[in-house]
Structure 1
């Protein structure tokens, strides 16, 4: 079984396919090595693109699995051992895994007009809602712009990357959302960082997490770098440490620091 999705503080969600609907899933606790098998009862087409997420509801002390499929979403409650399904007034497209941060799970998806949308699951109401983007990203007609979400020091962050065409540089911009679940759908965004790095041949990007005072960034399938905001320098992670950060079947790195997944001291080399 290939793992495809985000984590909370305790669980990793595993499944058979990252891109398409899969009815069978596993919740795994890495610290205890215990797992729980769940099976979605709804008859979804396997050709559907599926967006997965896992969320913790502090009010009810309940872990919830969320499957966003086309114009509906399914919710599994671990506490009640039950599934429920809700309809959406809009179709969402993509095959992304959500990130759980600051009490909610967030995705970047496209609607039926192909507009980039930030969507979040509120575990208090079991509702899927939209979130306003930073003003600088409201005109997202640039086909060369990649937008995604990240958890940086327990803050929900949004980042964009541009660099299509003959330009040999990638330009990163990172924003931080104000604290609070959804913040009423129209949160304040603070721009944290802007920086550039030379474009890899086959880039596959991800802003992953802070390691001490540096940001871990994935540039392509097997290349990871640390970026120092204070020194404005990059260090590439060498050898086995980089290999351990990536699995052939996994495009989402699990955000555990100094744990089962994350190297305590990775060897690095400076890059321009």
Structure 2
């Protein structure tokens, strides 16, 4: 095989491989020593992440009984499913990576394409409540980071440092934005090195932001309540055309929703009002993912007002799911070769 491959120009082979899907490249690593050496290099992995045009992959996981801590999280969208004991939820994705978390001090980075898992031990026990997690990348250093906050506690993990930095009160010029009354998280999103949480208290929406480069929290005002529509509440958060957007649900008008787009921090524009099915699970691009009574997944494009069957049906999918609160989670994501294995020198191999 090596002799056969040697007859091809190196640049040609490289360009062909950069356009192959991840699963095919994992097989090629076993077919040729030269290809194995090439595919595992950080330069090739980053180039493949940018040039690969493979279709987005559908990832569906079942968390069973959300009130039972012993229930494992199971990937159900593939024939060879993976099960993770002690894990109860998933957030992502960033460069094909996800963060899963569950029981006390239980969290891990996961690449579903390569099936690699990197366990993370939280710096302090979290017993009473589930923390709010975020996953992102420092755009200047390409350092993958994990952040969490819970009432008075917050910490950020750096893959390059392989350590947590616990925030202290003196790290803030004023009381930290998460150091307030309990506010429920209604949605999250990641964009350009920032992670966003939609927090609601007394029907007032606030955006909490964490910048992975500066490792700082910020608080942003949400859209002002519409005095003409008092029966409207924030229903979820999504990305829309590379912008942060909030999905509002109207209580009076059945199945009507508003989408507000953040033009700049604290400045919002009402983009569209539309009518759709009520049972959203997730979102991607300009589409919402919904589930029917027959446990089938559809996408609804708010731009074109069209629905599309996603070719997946499973009994675990229930039509009484709320946006982001379901026994199943659904993601559309781009696969990558990013590896999260720990090397002997303590550096992350990416």
TM-score with structure 2 length normalisation? 0.56
CA distance in 1, matches of 2:216, 2:147: 10
Q: Once the 2 structures are TM-superposed, how far is the Cα of residue 62 of structure 1 from its aligned partner?
A: 1.0
* Alpha-carbon contact 1:6-1:252 (below 8 Å) kept: no
Q: Quick one: structure 1 residues 97 and 192, their matched pair in 2 at CA, closer, same or farther if it must change by over 3 Å? A: closer
CA distance in 2 between partners of 1:131 and 1:251 (Å): 30
**Aligned equivalents of 2:212 and 2:186: distance in 1?**
19
Q: How does 1:205-244 map to 2 (within 5 A)?
A: 205-206=280-281, 208-210=283-285, 215-218=287-290, 222=295, 224-229=297-302, 231-233=304-306, 235=307, 237=309, 241-243=312-314
- How far the C-alpha of 1:147 sits from its partner, in A, is 3.2
Distance, in Å, in 2 between the alignment partners of 1:103 and 1:16 is 24
Aligned 8 A contact 2:203 2:234 in 1: no
Q: Would you say how many aligned residue pairs link Structure 1 and Structure 2?
A: 234
Corresponding position of 1:160: 248
TM-score (norm 1): 0.70
Please say which of residues 84-93 and 243-252 is displaced more in the overlay.
243-252
Bigger fraction of residues in strand: 1
Equivalent residue for 1:174? 259
**Is 1:255 the counterpart of 2:332 in the alignment?**
yes
Q: Cα RMSD (Å) of the superposition? A: 3.5
Give the CA deviation at 1:28.
0.8
CA distance in 1, matches of 2:281, 2:250: 13
- Counterpart in 2 of 1:37? 119
Partner SS state of residue 255, structure 1:
strand
Task: Name the SS for the 1:254 alignment partner.
Answer: strand
Asked if residue 107 in structure 1 is aligned to residue 197 in structure 2, the reply is yes
SS at match of 1:98: strand
Deviation at 1:224, TM superposition (A): 4.1
Q: CA deviation at 1:49?
A: 3.3
Unmatched tracts of structure 2, length 5 or more: 1-83, 170-175, 337-350
CA distance in 2, matches of 1:58, 1:156: 18
| Alpha-carbon distance, 1:215 to partner | 1.8
User: Which secondary structure state, in structure 2, belongs to the residue aligned with residue 160 of structure 1?
Assistant: strand
The answer (yes or no) to whether the contact 1:71–1:91 under 8 Å persists in 2 is no
Answer 1 or 2: higher relative contact order, Cα 8 Å, separation at least 6.
2
Alignment counterpart, residue 217 of structure 2, candidates 108, 128, 138: 128
1:219–1:79 distance in 2 versus 1, CA, 3 Å: same
Distance 1:242 1:220 in 2: 9
Gaps of 5+ in 1: 261-272
Contact 2:187 2:198 in 1 (8 A): no
Q: Which has the higher helix share?
A: 2
Q: Call closer, same or farther: CA 1:255–1:131 in 2, change over 3 Å.
A: farther
Query: Does 2:11 align with 1:11?
Result: no
**2:134 equivalent to 1:49:** no
Bigger Rg, structure 1 or 2 = 2
State the 1:37 CA deviation.
Answer: 0.7
CA drift of 1:252 comes to: 4.2
Q: Distance between the aligned counterparts of 2:196 and 2:312, measured in 1? A: 28
Using a 3 Å threshold, how does the CA distance of structure 1 residues 224 and 114 change in structure 2: closer, same or farther? same
Q: Is the 8 A contact 1:54 1:66 kept in 2?
A: yes
- 1:174-207 deviations in whole A, cap 9, x for unaligned? 12223xxxx5x43x433332101355xxx4x355
Distance 1:244 1:98, change over 3 A: farther
Distance 2:133 2:292 in 1: 22
